[in-house]
Structure 1
Amino acid sequence: MGNESPLLNNLSLNQITTDNWNLQEAVEGCLRAEVPWIAPWRHKVHELGLAESKRIIQSSGLKVSSLCRGGMFPASTAEQRQKNLDDNRLAVEEAAELGTDVLVLVCGSAPDKDIDTSRKWVEEGIEKLVPFAESHGVKLAIEPLHPMYAADRSVVVTLDQANTIAEKFNPKQVGVIVDVFHVWWDPDLYNQIKRAQNNILGFHVSDWIVPVPDMFKGRGMMGDGVIEIRRIRNAVEKAGYQGPIEVEIINQSIWDQPGDEVLSKMKKSYLEHV
């Protein structure tokens, strides 16, 4: 690919950024835009089937930066927690088939208003998943989410928490994701990035718009908000991460735009602000 900047060699389209595209369309869009990496979401893989998704990606020559998502470990009953673990094992198999060694974990919420127990269930779920993931050559990447998502998406809300969990396991098996949208506000961020030295498995970029247009679909294009993205990238690289950088933007107004236009804006914003 004729990328004009070395930084573009690490650019990955997190598939949710072009949610109006199926996986085939996203792969074709990446090829047209000369984006060398892609990060599929599982529901997009399931739409076309795992075998067809694998064929599409492999024949394209694109590299897969991660699969989103595993996790969602907590549940009110032991039976449901087991079902959640079984689904995580399936996610591990899918990641391995698609050619990535990184499964992103969005760890799950507190089903019974018991946030401490839910955090315990997260750790237990990861502990049970590790041997299976290791047998498939897949690493588990804990992604802390912004605290506003603690009620419905993740009880792991700081990089400190994610590091503390990851450090209980072999660093070759469990690491962390640094997503600027989720961690930019944290006064301890740079200490925690340093703490995660050589254990960062992914770096995700977008921006925090003021005011936030929507709690879930509220992320902006890089440069449209207040996050010191380049400062965070420099810290992540200093901590040893040299891998793909995923642009992960969840925003209805961006989803409503033609995908090729989104990728064009994405590349421009990425070079200017990442």
Structure 2
Amino acid sequence: MTTPPTNGLNTAPQQPSTRLSVNQATIKYAGLGEALRVVRDTGVQSIGLWREPVAEVGLPEAARLVTDSGLRVSSLCRGGFFTAVEGPTRRASLDDNRRAIDETATLAAAGAPGSAAVLVLVAGGLPDGSTDLTGARARMRDAVAELEPEARATGVTLALEPLHPMYAADRAVLSTLGQALDIAEQFPAEAVGVVVDTFHIWWDPAVAEQIARAGASGRIASYQVCDWVTPLPADVLLARGMMGDGHIDFATLTRAVTAAGYTGDVEVEIFNQKIWDSDPAAVVERTVRAFAETVPL
């Protein structure tokens, strides 16, 4: 008798972990209403939202849909991208982040009990023509300082997400968890934390130490998982894979995050064209199985 594959798209449904959250990026082509329905119908209890699908229906309707779904909201992606020098571009970015803070508070309030008012921030890359990483990081820190009082006043946590160094030029001048913590620790823990994303930090020889540091100061605002699959595609933004398909040791990283005191939802966030092109319901079912097999909670 042949044993069916455990990571395929056509195996029987499995009871999801109560801490599993499916980030909307994993089912990118599903609109907000469909994404909420598919996640709920699969038995998953939490979803990570993205601003673009929310904007497509408008914030009031998005909040209504979230409430009707009965799902928790684990985070809103994303704000940030504020490394520009002072001027209209930087001011526009900061104003957009203020709107994102309000959206985060509204959607978390609309979600089921246990929802998290967490706004994921991606720093942004180098301004055109610049090679000044130090200056870009300083401007990113200054932006957090400007936004932090407003986030704290609305109960929102700004979650700084370091990205793998291959994105430093165009997406995120924060490349390590340590760099993110150096900034976050300048502010109250309830207002500024960090994202631990396995795809971005698995390679870092200091990762265990930095996860413990983040936990000691209560800074882990979100834990996100997906795999590192080789060969990398031409568009490295789409290099993420389903857990178990690549090279990341999820057991060791998850134990470290758990030991650091994190008890919140764990988001699966995957940017992968083949997964995006698949049926959203099948992708969520596959996610449930892969999560159960690889992430020890």
TM-score, structure 1 length as denominator? Answer: 0.96
Say whether 1:225 aligns with 2:246.
Answer: yes
Residue 126 of structure 2: which of 110, 115, 130 is its match? Answer: 110
1:201 is aligned to: 221
Query: In the alignment, residue 89 of structure 2 is paired with which amino acid?
Result: Q
Counterpart-to-counterpart distance in 2, 1:4 and 1:42: 29
Counterpart-to-counterpart distance in 2, 1:158 and 1:149: 12
Question: What are the ranges of 5 or more consecutive residues in structure 1 without an aligned counterpart?
Answer: none
Counterpart-to-counterpart distance in 1, 2:184 and 2:153: 18
1:212 is aligned to: 232
Identical counterparts, % of pairs: 46
Query: In the alignment, residue 80 of structure 1 is paired with which amino acid?
Result: T
Equivalenced residues, count: 271
2:113 is aligned to: none
C-alpha displacement of 1:76: 3.7
Equivalent residue runs for 1:158-173 within 5 Å: 158-173=176-191
C-alpha displacement of 1:79: 2.0
Equivalent residue runs for 1:1-274 within 5 Å: 4=15, 8-99=17-108, 100-111=116-127, 112-197=130-215, 198-213=218-233, 214-274=235-295
Question: What secondary structure sits across from 1:66 in the alignment?
Answer: strand
* Larger RCO, structure (CA 8 Å, separation 6 or more): 2
Query: In the alignment, residue 76 of structure 2 is paired with which amino acid?
Result: L
C-alpha displacement of 1:172: 1.6
Counterpart-to-counterpart distance in 2, 1:232 and 1:87: 33
1:80-122 C-alpha deviation (Å, 9 max, x unpaired): 1111111100000000010141000101111022211110100
How big is the alpha-carbon RMSD for the aligned residues of Structure 1 and Structure 2? 1.3
1:129-161 C-alpha deviation (Å, 9 max, x unpaired): 001111111011000000000111100000010
TM-score, structure 2 length as denominator? Answer: 0.89
Highest Rg: 1 or 2?
A: 2
Question: What secondary structure sits across from 1:144 in the alignment?
Answer: coil
C-alpha displacement of 1:65: 0.2
